[in-house]
Amino acid sequence: MENNFEKLLKKYSNEKLQEIILDKEGYVEDFRIAASIELKRRDSDFDSDAYKNELEQSRKESIASYSSTNESNHEKYPTLSGISVVIKILAWVTILASFIVLGVIASKDIKLGFPTILAILFYAVVSFILLYAISEIIKLFIDIEKNTRTNKNKTSD
């Protein structure tokens, strides 16, 4: 089944089709590609494949330039970045609170025994490491996504 572009382009001469293909400002990309295909169908000497490739390259460049400006102005996952920061702060608060608790225990002369103090210290260090690691893993996933997108844009060129 023919689309409207094909019906219209069949009426044009080879010279008119060449004009359409070369006029980047006057016609939309899809219409220019359809003109290129029509010329190829007619077995014209005009190298329509080269212009189709040029159109595809310019489309990729526009998408890449849009993505790079969009990335530089805005982070893609601001909520995840915020959560990462909150978890990192929580890690520091946890370890500081544990040391404050130990300080209060020591100042009040409360006899908890060595195993209890060791358990509090162990809890503080393990909690800090886990929370900090979770924060870093979130940042890692964001970086992986950004690098994957960047590499995809580079390889599609």
Residue 79 CA to residue 85 CA, distance in Å, equals: 10
Read off the pLDDT of residues 62-106 as tens digits, 9 standing for 90 and up: 555 555 544 544 577 889 989 999 999 999 999 999 999 888 887
Q: How many domains does the chain have?
A: 2
Alpha-carbon distance of 134 to 144, in angstroms, equals: 15
Question: Domain range spanning residue 30?
Answer: 4-71
Domain finish residue from 56, 71, 86: 71
Answer yes or no: do 48 and 12 share one domain: yes
Q: Which amino acid is at 87?
A: I
Q: Provide the residue type at 80 as one letter.
A: L
- Please say whether the beta carbons of 46 and 18 come within 8 A: yes
The pTM for the full model equals 0.50
Same domain flag for 19 and 44: yes
